[in-house]
Amino acid sequence: MGLMSFIKNAGEKLLGTSKEANVESIKKYIQAQGFSTEGLDISFDPATDTVTVSGQVADQTTKEKILLCCGNVQGVAKVQDNLKVASATPESQYYTVQSGDTLSKIAARFYGDAKKYNLIFDANRPMLSHPDKIYPGQNLRIPPQGIEQEKIVEHHP
């Protein structure tokens, strides 16, 4: 739990003028990425540009991806994480994409091996549709190497 910072002027263009419509837009975006919003309480405070998310999700990966869905929205500067996880696992690190970054460069920085860019790509699906489609200001999950690697081996024999 805590407060995550995002770059307010980067991300999906979802927000409008109505506070209620903004919450609905964020919920629809989360659902479009394949995650349920059932049992989640999502609010948006336009005075502080903060989304607050509470409720319970099944696992750490789902939690982290929902938080990124909420924060990688143009007009959101912070996400207050009040989510609980039913099945706890080690948390990921987060990285804000800089100009000139590639997933390979980021993988080399965090894992010491540029060829492990797929660990980061898979950890940020479905929000990322292609490894080359990242943008400055976007926050990415950088999972603990062993955890995501096991999941990738299961999905890509």
Q: How many structural domains compose the chain?
A: 2
Q: Which parts of the chain have pLDDT scores under 70?
A: 1, 146-157
Six token digits for residue 48: 């502080």
Q: Is residue 15 a contact partner of residue 74, using CB atoms and an 8 Å limit? A: yes
Asked if 14 and 70 sit in the same domain, the reply is: yes
The residue from 41, 67, 87 where one domain ends is 87
pLDDT of residue 150: 38
pLDDT of residue 149: 42
The predicted structure's pLDDT at residue 155: 37
The whole domain housing 37 covers 2-87
Residues 50, 113, single domain; the answer is: no
Question: Distance between CA 98 and CA 110 in Å, rounded?
Answer: 15
pLDDT of residue 1: 65
Cα-Cα-Cα-Cα dihedral sign, residues 58, 110, 134, 14: positive
Model pLDDT, residue 15: 84
Sign (positive/negative) of CA torsion 5, 90, 110, 70?
A: negative
> Does 110 lie in the same domain as 59?
no
Q: Are residues 79 and 25 in the same domain?
A: yes
* Torsion of Cα atoms, 83 then 121 then 155 then 127, to 10°: 50
Residues 78, 101, single domain; the answer is no
Q: What is the pLDDT of residue 146?
A: 58
Radius of gyration of the chain (CA): 15
Which pLDDT score, from 0 to 100, does residue 21 have? 83
Largest CA distance in the chain: 48
What CATH number corresponds to the domain at position 149? 3.10.350.10
Same domain assignment for residues 77 and 20: yes
Q: Say what the pLDDT of residue 16 is.
A: 81
- Boundary of a domain, candidates 87, 108, 131: 87
Q: What pTM did the predictor assign?
A: 0.80
Residue 79 and residue 8 share a domain: yes
CATH number of the structural domain spanning residue 44: 3.30.1340.30
- In this structure, are 7 and 81 located in the same domain? yes
